[in-house]
């Protein structure tokens, strides 16, 4: 696959922020955006979804939530959007404006610096909201609530199918051993599907798929489990935003194994900070 058909450039960044500044404004740093842009699975999937479904974007007003460098906004503009409003709260918004200028699209893409919850758009409604809101483990440091806020405030169509509370859930699992071995950890990952395209498109962040910058989340076990081929681990995973900081994630895993060599039933707690 070729590289995205947009122009980017670098500069001598002034990387003199303190660690506290980095925590609160980490997306002002070029490194994290470079990692995401070079994630071919991520970037090319979004590009293919937009370019191969241009009929969805032509003559539409688009809102890009958490635009970063503006890559998705440029894709939408090149797909025929009437106008794109790219909202980015970090200092990367200044670079996004330059990138838009370099690509000759300042009349189509407007970069707005600020938080979605605090800015005002020049329009009352938008036809499409696009965002790459997903974090590690899908929900760590994600922007889901911000996207839902933008949907409720600006999206023309009423598709309020999801609410912020849906980010808290419990899911059961069943794992069947493919061989005799030892288990030291569970591995969590997520799949992404774009379901409204002519052809179903998406990607997986799983260990058997092409690597992405999301990688996988490893949940180490307190005990090493000895398992034999064909034996089954059953359990459940409960996920919820941390009460003090909703961008953090609390995880509870219940699991049990009744095997020939190992019998265990345990509950473990994890925190993503």
Mean pLDDT computed over 85-110: 97
pLDDT surpasses 60 at 264: yes
pLDDT surpasses 60 at 229: yes
- 141 in active site: yes
pLDDT band at 192 (very low <50, low <70, confident <90, very high): very high
The Cα 205–Cα 42 span in angstroms is 10
- Quick one: pLDDT at residue 159? 67
The Cα 99–Cα 81 span in angstroms is 18
Marked catalytic residue, from 141, 178, 229, 231: 141
- Quick one: pLDDT at residue 21? 43
Which runs of E-coded beta strand occur in the chain?
Answer: 61-65, 83-88, 109-113, 128-130, 169-176, 181-188, 191-194, 201-204, 217-227, 232-241, 249-258, 263-272
- Residues 195-226: tens digit of each pLDDT: 988 889 999 999 999 999 999 999 999 999 99
Mean pLDDT computed over 59-82: 98
- Quick one: pLDDT at residue 217? 98
Residues in the chain: 273
Marked catalytic residue, from 14, 117, 132, 231: 132
pLDDT surpasses 80 at 77: yes
- Quick one: pLDDT at residue 205? 98
- 132 in active site: yes
Top mean pLDDT of 1-5, 242-246, 268-272 is at: 268-272
With pLDDT > 70 as the criterion, what percentage of the chain qualifies?
A: 88
- Residues 124-183: tens digit of each pLDDT: 999 999 999 999 999 998 789 999 999 999 999 866 688 889 999 999 999 999 999 999
Choice among 24-28, 34-38, 198-202, 227-231 with the minimum mean pLDDT: 24-28
Task: Answer whether 144's CB lies under 8 Å from 164's CB.
Answer: yes
- Burial bucket for residue 79 (CB in 10 Å: 0-12, 13-18, 19+): buried
Closest CA to 101 of 79, 114, 86: 86
DSSP category for residue 101:
H
Between 182 and 21, the higher pLDDT residue: 182
- Quick one: pLDDT at residue 27? 56
pLDDT surpasses 50 at 97: yes
Write down all domains in the chain, each with its CATH number in brackets: 21-158 (3.40.50.150), 167-272 (2.70.160.11)
- Quick one: pLDDT at residue 28? 56
Task: Answer whether 73's CB lies under 8 Å from 46's CB.
Answer: no
- Quick one: pLDDT at residue 174? 98
């Amino acid at each position: 696959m070729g590289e995205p058909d947009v122009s980017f450039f670098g500069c001598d960044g002034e990387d003199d922020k303190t660690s506290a500044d980095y925590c609160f404004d980490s997306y002002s740093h070029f490194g994290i955006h470079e990692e995401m842009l070079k994630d071919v699975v991520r970037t090319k999937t979004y590009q293919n979804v937009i370019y191969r479904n241009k009929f969805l974007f032509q003559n539409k007003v688009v809102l890009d939530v958490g635009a970063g460098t503006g890559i998705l906004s440029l894709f939408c503009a090149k797909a025929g959007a009437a106008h794109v409003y790219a909202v980015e709260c970090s200092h990367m918004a200044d670079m996004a404006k330059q990138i838009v200028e370099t690509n000759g699209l300042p009349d189509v893409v407007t970069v707005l610096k600020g938080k979605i919850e605090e800015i005002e758009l020049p329009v009352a409604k938008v036809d499409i909201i696009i965002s790459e809101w997903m974090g590690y483990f899908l929900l760590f440091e994600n922007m889901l609530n911000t996207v839902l806020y933008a949907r409720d405030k600006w999206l023309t169509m009423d598709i309020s199918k999801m609410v912020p509370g849906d980010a808290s859930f419990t899911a059961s699992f069943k794992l069947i051993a493919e061989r005799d071995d030892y288990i030291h950890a569970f591995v969590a990952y997520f799949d992404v599907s774009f379901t409204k395209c002519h052809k179903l498109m998406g990607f997986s962040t799983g260990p058997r798929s092409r690597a992405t910058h999301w990688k996988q989340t490893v949940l180490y076990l307190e005990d090493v489990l000895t398992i034999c081929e064909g034996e089954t681990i059953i359990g459940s995973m409960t996920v919820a935003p941390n009460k003090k900081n909703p961008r953090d994630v609390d995880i509870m895993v219940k699991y049990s194994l009744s095997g020939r060599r190992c019998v265990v039933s345990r509950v473990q707690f994890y925190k993503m900070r």
